[in-house]
Amino acid sequence: MLDLVPVRTDQATGDAVRASVDLARTADRLGFERYWVAEHHNMPSVAATSPPVLIAMLAAATERIRLGSGGVMLPNHAPLAVAEQFALLEAAYPGRIDLGIGRAPGSDPVTSVALRGAAGRGDDDVRLFPQYLDDVVALMGTQGVKVPVPQSLSRGPYVLKATPAAAGVPRLWLLGSSMYSAQLAAEKGLPYVFAHHFSGHGTREALAFYRENFQASDLLDRPSTFLTANVAVAPTAEEARDLARPNAVNMARLRGGLPMHPLALVEDPVDDLPPQLEAIVASSLRQGGVGDPGSVAAHLTELATELDVDEVMLHPIASEHVGVGAGEAPARVRSLELLAEALAS
């Protein structure tokens, strides 16, 4: 499961968070393997701004499912801060924490400047990303890492740890949607997640490159991959398309450079989009992840087999009808229930 904690037109932020807690409990109950939350900033339809805060809430509300980030956008944060947050989560919920790391800003350029403040390094954040990744891994380790410092500050090597007495470490994943991320994951011997739900372009090539060039590491001895896929499941394909359209419209607006809005309800007035953006919406609603339970289950099974991935991570995009409780998301819950039942049959 991948959750952006969507904010509908009938919701405040707290309502959206409560709905996601309920969705995580559903995923836990149905036997899903993991539940990840994204990091996005200053978006009217997305409340997932701080993965570690959300992960702590969701871990406390569930029993067995793994919780993680999909992902932490590392250029936005000091590596030590990320390592400390996730080392503490792992200490509190041992064996249940995943740290998915990405390179994208997760926001527009102006918001990125505000987020990073005076410490922002601009292009250096991209150039130094591989080193930041190594730093997070080393800092979370049980032995910490030796840091060279001027003699005036410390006598001898200084050992830096993310937490005083780690008994284990979160599992680290590298996220991406390009050949750069595939190459870096292969070089560093990391599990690799491709953001197939965002565009679907380049998935096959990136996964193939990763597998062919994978170098075993202390973290992983063989390639491990999964991809993300948008899903909206309802008893009929027509109902599924109705529920998926608000998200498709918002994504078309994003790709067309138009302002995003809170996620519309099915009955809200329809956006008047330019023809080229309406074509994007229509294409999104024709994807195999939107439909009745049997057809979506068949599509996901075929996709996993065709692209040879170990897991498929579902991103439930269904909105709601007027009259649903603000702190509820029954269409997303029902999507998981219907799909789990279809996949099991």
∠ Cα 83 229 211 (to 5°): 65
Torsion of CA 191, 23, 86, 31, to 10 degrees: -50
pLDDT given for residue 196 in this prediction: 87
- Domain of 79: which CATH number? 3.20.20.30
Structure token digits, residue 293: 């339970």
Residue 121 has pLDDT above 60, yes or no: no
Each residue's pLDDT tens digit, 306-329: 999 999 999 999 999 999 999 999
Supply the range of the domain harboring residue 230. Answer: 2-344
Give the integer Cα–Cα distance in Å for 318 and 68: 22
Structure token digits, residue 251: 């994504």
pLDDT given for residue 154 in this prediction: 59
Q: What is the average per-residue pLDDT within 14-36?
A: 98
The position carrying tokens 């569930």 is: 62
Residue 254 three-state SS = helix
Q: Cβ of 218: how many Cβ atoms within 10 Å?
A: 8
Each residue's pLDDT tens digit, 190-228: 999 998 887 667 899 999 999 999 999 999 999 999 989
Q: Count of domains in the chain?
A: 1
Range of lowest pLDDT (116-120, 212-216, 302-306):
116-120
